[in-house]
Structure 1
Amino acid sequence: MTLTTLALGRMTWPKQIAAAVAGSALIAVAAQISVPFFPVPMTLQTLAVLAIGLAFGPTLAAATVVLYLLEGLAGLPVFTGMRNGVAFAGPTAGFLVGFVAMAWIAGQAAGRGLVAMIAAALLASAVLYVFGLAWPFAVAGAVGIEAGWASMDAGAMLGAFMYPFLLGDAVKAVLAALLVAGGATLLRR
């Protein structure tokens, strides 16, 4: 049983819509809490996306992230630095798209216990790098984006887009699992 079901009971459509809207707002707030790095900042978005996945389950979590992305594409300032859909032309685009997969993978372990949630959150974090690195490695250049971050060599790209974030992402994965498991334990009591 997911944390959301424990807290709200049977997830009717209105409850699912309310949860998705609240979850997308949480991601938007978490996006504004950042430590500037170049070319990609370190934010609390990954913590929020993982917690939503672990709390909502795969389908509702992925839908919540899609809603968040659509809000940005519609012009709302929900992305890091109060950016909107223009962020899809920047260095974080691959990570933004990867959040959908991250939420879905983490959601596979929703309600399955702390160890399963930690494992799923770590796997989801690793998969996020596939999307995040695919954008500067291949996609950005293929669609005609010319920027310093899109023309780095492989070593520089890993040093800018992955290595500085590994430890923080591992900590956020464990923290998300602990928060959701702790919340479920409290609600069961």
Structure 2
Amino acid sequence: MTALTLRQGRLREAARFLFLALLGSAVLAASARIALPLWPVPATLQSLAVLLLAALGGTRLGLASVVLYLAEGALGLPVFAGGATGLTAFAGPTAGFLLGFLPAALIAGQAGRGGWLRDGGILLAAHLALFVPGVLWLSGFVGAEKALVAGFLVFLPGTAVKTGLALAAVSLRRR
């Protein structure tokens, strides 16, 4: 193999990765549109999308998709829930949840390498990890007790369903 052939292969791989990360960010944007308008944080399919992107695509792709998604929103594209845009979205009550997608992707990327019990624990931990910065940030707006209820407890049934769906997808991929 020549140096040119190696370089072309690396460029193709980088272009493929960037395409998949952009596609992942589009999936996140689409999942933000499917929302139940709860107050002060809407219920969306974004956490499911983060889990699936990282668990099925790997940690690097999951994180890259989330970073691109957050950058797109910060630059003014209407990708966040409710069509929110710009840096002001990172000052509102949902900012902690948006940033919580990063540790969730990091953890969920470890799924798919073990049995269903291990993978289920990893995906549940990933899902719960996004609530930590979310609830902490939200408590600055509504107080700690309301943040725990409105930013965590109300989402537990959906968290169980979405985590189960992500586990089913990871399990199917193994076959």
Q: Same fold per TM (> 0.5)?
A: yes
Residue of structure 1 in register with 2:171 after alignment? 181
Question: Could you tell me how far 1:33 is from its partner in structure 2?
Answer: 0.1
Contact 1:40 1:160 in 2 (8 A): yes
What letter matches 2:96 in structure 1?
Answer: G
Residue of structure 2 in register with 1:91 after alignment? 93
Equivalent position SS for 1:12: helix
**1:150-169 → structure 2 map (5 Å cutoff):** 150=141, 152-169=142-159
Equivalent position SS for 2:166: helix
What letter matches 2:121 in structure 1?
Answer: A
Residue of structure 2 in register with 1:119 after alignment? 121
**1:1-189 → structure 2 map (5 Å cutoff):** 12-85=13-86, 86-138=88-140, 150=141, 152-185=142-175
Contact 1:54 1:111 in 2 (8 A): no
Equivalent position SS for 1:38: coil
Aligned length: 164
Please list every run of at least 4 consecutive aligned residues from structure 1 whose deviation after the TM superposition is greater than 4 angstroms: none
Question: Could you tell me how far 1:111 is from its partner in structure 2?
Answer: 4.1
Structure ID, larger Rg: 2
Question: CA-to-partner distance for each residue in 1:69-115, whole Å, 9 max, x for gaps?
Answer: 00101111110012112321211100001101101100012443433
Contact 1:106 1:124 in 2 (8 A): yes
Contact 2:111 2:170 in 1 (8 A): no
Query: RCO (CA 8 Å, sep 6+): is it higher in 1 or 2?
Result: 1
Question: Could you tell me how far 1:167 is from its partner in structure 2?
Answer: 1.6
Structure 2: which 5+ runs fail to align? 1-11
What letter matches 1:158 in structure 2?
Answer: L
State how far apart, in whole Å, the 1-side matches of 2:31 and 2:130 are. Answer: 17
What letter matches 2:126 in structure 1?
Answer: A
Residue of structure 1 in register with 2:4 after alignment? none
Contact 2:139 2:146 in 1 (8 A): no
State how far apart, in whole Å, the 1-side matches of 2:20 and 2:120 are. Answer: 22
State how far apart, in whole Å, the 1-side matches of 2:115 and 2:15 are. Answer: 27
State how far apart, in whole Å, the 1-side matches of 2:153 and 2:90 are. Answer: 22
What's the RMSD between the two structures over aligned residues?
1.8
Structure 1: which 5+ runs fail to align? 1-10, 139-149
Contact 2:97 2:133 in 1 (8 A): yes
State how far apart, in whole Å, the 1-side matches of 2:21 and 2:68 are. Answer: 7
Contact 1:51 1:176 in 2 (8 A): yes
Question: Could you tell me how far 1:183 is from its partner in structure 2?
Answer: 3.7
State how far apart, in whole Å, the 1-side matches of 2:112 and 2:53 are. Answer: 9
Q: TM-score, normalised by structure 2?
A: 0.87
Q: Report the identity percentage.
A: 44
